[in-house]
Amino acid sequence: MTELADNYKRVIDLIAASAEKTGRSPEQIRLIAVSKTRSLEEVKSLLSLGQQAFAENTIQDAMTKIPALSSTPAQWHFIGHLQSKKAKFIPGYFQWVHSIDSMKLAEKLSRAMQQYSVTAVLNGLIQVNVSREVSKSGVLTDELAGFIEQLLQANLPGIHWRGLMTIGVNGDETRTRHAFIQLRQLQQKCRAEFNLKTFDQLSMGMSHDYRIAIEEGATMVRVGTAIFGLRGNLLT
């Protein structure tokens, strides 16, 4: 618990320093603790330290934690590749999905939300494969405007389109920074082009590159290892 608290404080402090470096307020950045593969007890411990936003990347792992924490202030973000057939598990459990990258998935999520409750709203982020790596999911940059136009024309109830998400290039700081800059520019362009007043979220940056992401405009950073440590061995 002491190591977890120390790690958590370190990340909070580094977020603040990175924000202030570029004249931003730390309150403009939402820290999302990536709890995938972590235990229910670890999540409870971090909750007790004041963290409320958590992220999972598989439905199976998420269901071992979310129902048990339904009476807490925990808010849940789905950040992994989501198969359209599993969209039915999102309503009632997750408030955000960061990885929407196809019409099929968007339509399935909309139907699932409507079946759950006609007033329920899911915050949706479009995943963009800025680096064009074949190992990554996401809409390609030159297809993004057309994809957003399709989504808006479909008028999918139950989904509130909030912004974009991307993953940096592991081990390449220069390409990662360029990807983050490009995502910010895309978000600003699409927000203006389609008059989306609340299309203001940029989910980018993980344990190894969240400081760069903040410098380039991230509003959400997805941090797991830097908080929880490597599996079975908290970072020092």
25-60 pLDDT, tens digit per residue, is 999 999 999 999 999 999 999 999 999 999 999 999
170-194 pLDDT, tens digit per residue, is 889 999 999 999 999 999 999 999 9
- What pLDDT, on the 0 to 100 scale, is given for residue 104? 97
Residue ranges for the chain with pLDDT beneath 50: 232-236
The CATH number assigned to the domain with range 2-228 reads: 3.20.20.10
Q: How far is CA 37 from CA 43, 50, 185, 224, 226, in A?
A: 11, 20, 33, 10, 14
pTM for the model stands at 0.95
Phi, psi of 51 (to 5 degrees): -75, 135
The β-bridge relationship of strands 30-34 and 53-56 is parallel
